[in-house]
């Protein structure tokens, strides 16, 4: 009897492996040939304002129940679709479902014409116009400003440098402030190592490949792990779709405007001015202590791009009485994407937003 059972279970496991091998072969060919690329950034949206390469998007939401609207400031070196990865795994989708009116500032892909963009170009020129356009479009007098990674740095500098900015709340996710704790990424451009102008290409920008390579240096075996994960789960269509989307996130960077990068290296990395409170932009002092709006600083314990020690001090640097750190056991990507994000980070952010927003008496339809 038991011999029969073990023979049946052996047969079924062989059968399962054969089935999986067939699926692996099919998906492997599709993946290698680049067919069935993950479709990302699918939430419907309109471009409501644009200037040069910068665009302000407004996402459709049939049921907006909260005010003020949220304006998300994207990082300068990543594509904005990473926050709207795929249905069911999207920060934007989560905010829309929670009843938020969501805007996104997308910086576009810099070329020669943008190589002279400085931090001031983004913080003093584009952001005030984009936020003002969002207010006008939503009929609001203030917004909740949210920044991810370098986008968080821009958001912080904008609010600190513009006391008149129509910002009611500030949400920062994985935002580096202490650059002495940034690890190898900052280590390479410290004084006496690589001069920033040496990494600029003919367009005057840091090429996207160089950014990708710096991220790859941190974890030299990350690619192997990814391939092992892929091999193990290649038979699983759903896994493959998620893998392609995450892979795209990891490898798809945009060039970094040369002038902004040189400024970032000298002011933030080499002189660590945000921590020292000596930051200057456009000839004026920008002190984080002048930020007095409520601040939520979301930090990841296992973040190896913006380590905890680099992001955590932000809540103490701002002048707000209502400033809190939300520390989560996740990595840089896992903060906003994946199952853990859906389970922990996103509900926590929405909960904070609920407590710092007004509930509309009647739900509004966007657009």
Partner 1 sequence: MAPERSLFRQYFDSLERSVGRPLESGVETDTFQDSLAAVIRLQAAIQARLERASGDLLHMFNLPAHSDMKRLSEQVSRLDKQVRDLSLELEKRSDGTRTPRRRR
Site residues (CB under 8 A) for partner 1? 44-52, 57, 112-113, 115-117, 125-126, 128-129, 132-133, 136-137, 183-184, 187-188, 190, 193-194, 198-199, 202-204, 217-221, 224-225, 228, 232, 367
Least distance (Å) between residue 118 CB and partner 1: 10
Least distance (Å) between residue 52 CB and partner 1: 6
| Phi–psi pair at 191, nearest 5 degrees | -45, 130
Q: Does residue 130 contact residue 136 with C-beta atoms inside 8 Å?
A: no
* Smaller CB separation from partner 1, 289 or 339: 339
Q: Does residue 104 contact residue 74 with C-beta atoms inside 8 Å?
A: yes
Residue 112 is classified by DSSP as: G
| Phi–psi pair at 280, nearest 5 degrees | -130, 135
DSSP letter string over 330-357? --TTTTTSSHHIIIIIHHHHHHHHHHTS
Matching residue, tokens 């059972």: 5
Least distance (Å) between residue 179 CB and partner 1: 15
**Residue 296 in 3-state DSSP?**
strand
CA distance 22 to 25: 5
* Smaller CB separation from partner 1, 38 or 320: 38
Q: Is 163 exposed, middle or buried (0-12, 13-18, 19+ CB in 10 A)?
A: exposed
> Residue 99 is encoded by which pair of tokens?
């009843």
* Smaller CB separation from partner 1, 203 or 348: 203
* Smaller CB separation from partner 1, 137 or 312: 137
Least distance (Å) between residue 45 CB and partner 1: 5
* Smaller CB separation from partner 1, 85 or 346: 85
Least distance (Å) between residue 266 CB and partner 1: 16
* Smaller CB separation from partner 1, 64 or 326: 64
Least distance (Å) between residue 253 CB and partner 1: 18
């Amino acid at each position: 009897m038991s011999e029969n059972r073990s023979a049946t279970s052996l047969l079924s496991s062989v059968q399962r492996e054969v089935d999986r091998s067939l699926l692996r072969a099919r998906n492997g060919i599709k993946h290698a040939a680049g067919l069935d690329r993950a479709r990302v950034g699918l939430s419907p949206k309109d471009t409501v304002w644009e200037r040069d390469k910068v665009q302000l998007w407004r996402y459709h939401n049939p049921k907006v129940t909260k005010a003020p609207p949220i304006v998300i400031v994207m990082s300068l070196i990543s594509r904005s679709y990473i926050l709207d990865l795929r249905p069911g795994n999207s920060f934007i989708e989560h905010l829309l479902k929670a009843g938020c009116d969501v805007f996104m500032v997308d910086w576009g892909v810099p070329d020669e014409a943008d190589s002279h963009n400085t931090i001031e170009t983004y913080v003093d020129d584009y952001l005030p116009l984009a936020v003002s356009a969002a207010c006008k479009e939503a009929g609001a007098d203030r917004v909740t400003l949210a920044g991810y990674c370098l986008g968080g740095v821009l958001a912080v500098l904008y609010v600190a440098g513009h006391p008149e900015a129509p910002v009611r709340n500030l949400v920062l996710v994985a935002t580096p402030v202490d650059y002495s704790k940034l690890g190898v990424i900052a280590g390479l451009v410290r004084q006496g190592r690589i001069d920033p102008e040496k990494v600029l290409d003919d367009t005057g920008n840091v090429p996207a490949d160089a950014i990708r390579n710096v991220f790859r240096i941190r974890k030299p075996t990350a690619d192997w792990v990814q391939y092992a994960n892929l091999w193990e789960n290649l038979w699983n269509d759903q896994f493959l779709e998620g893998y392609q989307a995450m892979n795209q996130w990891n490898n798809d960077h945009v060039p970094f405007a040369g002038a902004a990068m040189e400024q970032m290296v000298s002011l933030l990395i080499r002189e660590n001015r945000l921590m020292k409170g000596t930051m200057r932009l456009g000839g004026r002092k920008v002190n984080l202590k002048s930020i007095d709006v409520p601040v939520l600083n979301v930090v990841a314990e296992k973040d190896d791009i913006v380590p905890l020690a680099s992001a955590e001090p932000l809540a103490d640097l701002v002048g707000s009485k209502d400033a809190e750190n939300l520390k989560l056991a996740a990595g840089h990507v896992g903060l906003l994407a994946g199952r853990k994000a859906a389970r922990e980070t996103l509900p926590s952010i929405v909960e904070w937003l609920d407590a710092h927003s007004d509930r509309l008496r009647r739900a509004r339809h966007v657009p």
